[in-house]
């Protein structure tokens, strides 16, 4: 019997240097099965990204059987129409990724390549379940948007923004209920996402897997204790924007009152101009960084002040892997097996969060202990082989 033939549907090509935590996990899942399957990848790409898109497509080819790229047209007209469709209950990102050419390719590839399994990655790709027939189907959720947007609605105080967040949440609940139950299996990265999906869609066949983020070399901590706070993440993911804005407005001033020389360093592509234009003097925005380990190694403490978002928080896992003293919220710690005060400091609310950051900056011994414990924790958690086997079982169904 030959290798199973798997078709993956992805909203963008995955680079060797991923720009977001979701991309890290999605790429890891596909690479996990690539040795045992003939992996075909049908993916959108943005022609406007030029070399960046071409480089990501090239990065996928060595570990896949074939990559079929489809250009994603994001014209102003298309974007305006997607906003209007939100009024009819269709999530904007799902509307932007609906493409007749992509649908036709799915049908043709399944027929021509005798595909056994189709896996859809990220919520916006779930809608293509309607184009798939007579094969095993797997949904890789990455982030349950019904959970994410409920949290955004709950944390929003402005009336108009709260109403918009509620409408977005409702559209995702309806979208997930319409598409997810049709899959043979739905893979979640956290128990919270699994519970949220099952709550609104009881017939969903959901399982929880561990995100395969690979192994990294822990970085050397700064030899001289300083006052550098670091945050990293992709700002195409709205919870990261929300986290940075909250930290800048509510937490950083409190830390600065305690430690006047503190510095805040932000890494990641796409921080909106309305945020970068009003950064305080003690804050530096580095954009996308090629060497995340070096960025983290230069920081005395890393923060993950997440207020919303679903799934496991890849940035939390990465910070722990690199051995960074970490302060996060309870949402930032979801799906990550860490103990408050042992591997990281977990605090909710601006005052308590600021206290924790200042505590690490003032106490090098605490920073060292958290760093060593974080590295030890990630090495003693589930082995890479156990993680890979659970993913293969969920996808292949054996």
Q: Does residue 70 contact residue 44 with C-beta atoms inside 8 Å?
A: yes
Q: Give the pLDDT confidence of 89-148 residue by residue, as tens digits.
A: 789 899 999 999 999 999 999 999 999 999 999 999 999 999 999 999 999 998 888 888
Given this model, what pLDDT does residue 23 score?
86
Distance CA 136, CA 224 (A): 55
How far is the C-alpha of 234 from the C-alpha of 20, rounded, in Å? 5
According to DSSP, the β-strands at 206-208 and 263-267 are unpaired
- What's the pLDDT at 384? 66
What gap in Å lies between CA 372 and CA 366, rounded to an integer?
10
- By C-alpha distance, which of 67, 200, 177, 202 is closest to 127? 177
Does 382 have pLDDT greater than 90?
A: no
Taking each helix axis as running N to C, give the angle between helix 314-321 and helix 364-380, from 0 to 180 degrees, rounded to the nearest 10. Answer: 110
Residue 260 pLDDT > 90, yes or no?
Answer: yes
pLDDT above 90 for 250:
yes
Looking at residues 369-394, what average pLDDT do you find?
Answer: 74
Q: Percent helix, strand and coil across the chain, each rounded to 5?
A: 50, 15, 35
User: In the block, which residue shows the tokens 């890891």?
Assistant: 28
Taking the model in full, what pTM does it have?
Answer: 0.82
What are the chain's domains? 4-210+384-396 (3.40.50.2000), 228-380 (3.40.50.2000)
State how beta strands 66-71 and 37-45 pair: parallel
């Amino acid at each position: 019997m030959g290798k199973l033939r798997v078709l993956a549907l992805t909203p963008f090509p995955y680079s060797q240097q991923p720009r977001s935590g979701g991309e890290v996990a999605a790429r890891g899942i596909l690479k996990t099965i690539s040795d045992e399957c003939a992996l075909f990848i049908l993916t959108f790409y943005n022609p406007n990204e030029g070399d960046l898109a071409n480089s990501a497509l090239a990065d996928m080819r060595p570990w896949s059987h074939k990559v079929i790229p489809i250009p994603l047209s994001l014209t102003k007209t298309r974007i305006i129409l997607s906003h209007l469709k939100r009024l009819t209950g269709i999530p904007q990102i799902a509307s932007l990724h609906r493409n007749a050419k992509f649908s036709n390719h799915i049908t043709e590839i399944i027929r021509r390549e005798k595909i056994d399994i189709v896996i859809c990655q990220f919520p916006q790709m779930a809608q293509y379940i309607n184009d798939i027939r007579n094969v095993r189907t797997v949904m890789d959720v990455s982030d349950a948007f019904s959970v994410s947007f409920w949290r955004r609605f709950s944390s929003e105080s402005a009336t108009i923004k709260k109403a918009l967040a509620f409408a977005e949440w409702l559209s995702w609940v309806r979208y997930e209920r319409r598409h997810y139950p049709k899959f043979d299996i739905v893979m979640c990265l956290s128990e919270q996402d699994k519970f949220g999906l099952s709550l609104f869609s009881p017939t969903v066949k959901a399982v929880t897997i561990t995100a395969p983020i690979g192994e990294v070399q822990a970085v050397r901590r700064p030899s001289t204790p300083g006052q550098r706070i670091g945050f990293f993440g992709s700002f195409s993911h709205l919870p990261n924007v929300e986290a940075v804005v909250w930290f800048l407005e509510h937490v950083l001033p409190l830390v600065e009152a305690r430690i006047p020389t503190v510095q805040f360093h932000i890494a990641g592509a796409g921080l909106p101009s309305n945020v970068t234009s009003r950064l305080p003097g003690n804050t530096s925005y580095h954009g996308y960084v090629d060497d995340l380990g070096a960025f983290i190694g230069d920081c005395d403490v890393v923060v993950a002040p997440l207020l919303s978002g679903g799934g496991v928080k890849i940035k939390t896992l990465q910070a722990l892997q690199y051995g960074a003293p970490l302060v996060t919220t309870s949402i930032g710690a979801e799906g990550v097996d860490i103990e408050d005060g042992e591997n990281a400091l977990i605090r909710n609310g601006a005052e308590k969060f600021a206290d924790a950051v200042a505590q690490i900056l003032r106490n090098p011994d605490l920073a060292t202990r958290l760093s060593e414990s974080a590295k030890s924790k990630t090495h003693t958690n589930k082995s890479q082989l156990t993680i890979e086997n659970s993913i293969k079982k969920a996808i292949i169904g054996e």
